[in-house]
Amino acid sequence: QPENELIKLRGKDISMIFQDPMTSLNPTMQIGKQVMEPLMKHKNYSKSEAKKRALEILNLVGLPNAEKRFKAYPHQFSGGQRQRIVIATALACEPKVLIADEPTTALDVTMQAQILDLMKELQQKIDTAIIFITHDLGVVANIADRVAVMYGGQMVETGDVNEIFYDPKHPYTWGLLSSMPDLSTTNDTPLLAIPGSPPDLLHPPQGDAFARRSQYAL
């Protein structure tokens, strides 16, 4: 069965970090058990082996006093600490691919920077490929090697991070980058805006979804 095959992959070869750490964690379950669960499910660890590995990974992601707080519940942690626990759970089995869906959106700017630095460090240590989904171009510039720009559910442009920021090819990418203020922008400088509205994805347009908003479309 396809679903049974997917269950074998989830948390083992492919893991995911969601946007809101509070809703990603089970509020009725101790955080230690939540990190242990994929290890026991996918790697057949005993409880003692899973606990040892869970503590290692919680320390690796920088959770303070991990051993003392192993039996604490999600509501007893700050937002940044909860996201570290979510990252620990996702990386416990050392997946080949980690999908991070807006993992810093719910955090303040200082905590965002810490989590991004942590993810870059862990990516090197665990040798995991990260697919980072975000609308924040500053985050893209900070963390990405290759970038895929999406519009209307389609990839409209791909390239390495320097190509996308300094030599973009698609009109949507031009508009996206041009609409961002920079340090030279003053209060009386009008911001560029992409004309029109996004397409209705219940009735997606044929061909290039951005054509109706592009002055360069034929």
Same domain flag for 91 and 130: yes
Residue 121 maps to a domain:
yes
Same domain flag for 117 and 189: no
Q: How confident is the model at residue 9 (pLDDT cuts 50, 70, 90)?
A: confident
Same domain flag for 80 and 130: yes
Same domain flag for 117 and 153: no
Give the CB-side neighbour count of residue 117, counting CA atoms within 13 A: 8
- pLDDT 10s digits, 96-127: 999 999 988 878 888 888 889 999 998 988 88
Q: How confident is the model at residue 217 (pLDDT cuts 50, 70, 90)?
A: confident
Same domain flag for 18 and 94: yes
Q: What is the tally of structural domains in the chain? A: 2
Per-residue model confidence (pLDDT) at position 1: 58
More confident residue, 183 or 102: 102
- The stretches of 10-46 forming alpha helices (DSSP H) are 21-24, 31-42
Residue 59 maps to a domain:
yes
Same domain flag for 126 and 166: no
Same domain flag for 64 and 116: yes
Per-residue model confidence (pLDDT) at position 56: 94
Query: Which CATH number is 22's domain given?
Result: 3.40.50.300
Pairwise CA distance, residues 110 & 70, whole Å? 25
Same domain flag for 21 and 86: yes
- pLDDT 10s digits, 138-158: 899 999 999 999 999 999 999
- pLDDT 10s digits, 78-91: 989 999 999 999 99
Same domain flag for 11 and 25: yes
Pairwise CA distance, residues 206 & 211, whole Å? 10
Residue 105 maps to a domain:
yes
Residue 53 maps to a domain:
yes
**Range(s) of the domain holding residue 64:** 2-144
Residue 218 maps to a domain:
no
Q: Is 102 left (phi over 0), alpha (psi -120 to 50) or beta?
A: left
Same domain flag for 111 and 202: no
Domain termination site, one of 90, 121, 144: 144
Domain termination site, one of 126, 144, 162: 144
Out of 127-136, 183-192, 199-208, which region has the weakest mean confidence (pLDDT)?
A: 183-192
Domain termination site, one of 97, 120, 144: 144
Per-residue model confidence (pLDDT) at position 76: 96
Cβ atoms of 100 and 132 closer than 8 Å: yes
In percent, the amount of the chain with pLDDT more than 70 equals: 100
Same domain flag for 67 and 116: yes
Q: Which amino acid is at 71?
A: K
Neighbours of 159 (CB within 10 A): 18
More confident residue, 33 or 183: 33
Same domain flag for 112 and 7: yes
Q: How confident is the model at residue 28 (pLDDT cuts 50, 70, 90)?
A: very high
